[in-house]
Amino acid sequence: MGVGSALWEEVKMDKGKVLNPNLRDYKIATAENMPKNENFKCFMAPAPHKDGPYGAKGTGETQMTPSAAVIGNAIYNAVGVRIKDTPITREKILKALKEKGTA
């Protein structure tokens, strides 16, 4: 979710009208878009949550919060330009590099 919101997801607007009001035009990440890492571990939270269905907990939302900032900082460290709005696209990076004079 965090990578998707940082790199793909965008509500497009024009004069207050949403231009992509359905999921057909709203790009989200899929499992195929995610980095492959054999060190990634999935685990079950040992204590059930009293309000969750069948004791389920939402453990992923807090990790989503810093994702865009982490990816933005990685891009800055790699190429020296800071992208401050999401989604962070190739076009925005190239534009920033051209404005900086390093493209």
pLDDT tens for 23-36 read 777 777 887 877 77
Q: How many CA atoms lie within 13 A of 58 on its CB side?
A: 6
Q: Which domains does the chain have, with CATH numbers?
A: 2-100 (3.30.365.10)
pTM: 0.69
Q: Token pair of 38, please?
A: 């054999």
Known catalytic membership, residue 61: yes
Catalytic one among 32, 61, 91, 99?
61
CA distance 81 to 98: 10
Dihedral over Cα of 21, 70, 31, 35: its sign: positive
Q: Say whether the peptide bond before residue 66 is cis (omega within 30 degrees of 0).
A: no
Instruction: Work out the pLDDT band at 44, boundaries 50, 70, 90.
Output: low
CA distance 5 to 26: 11
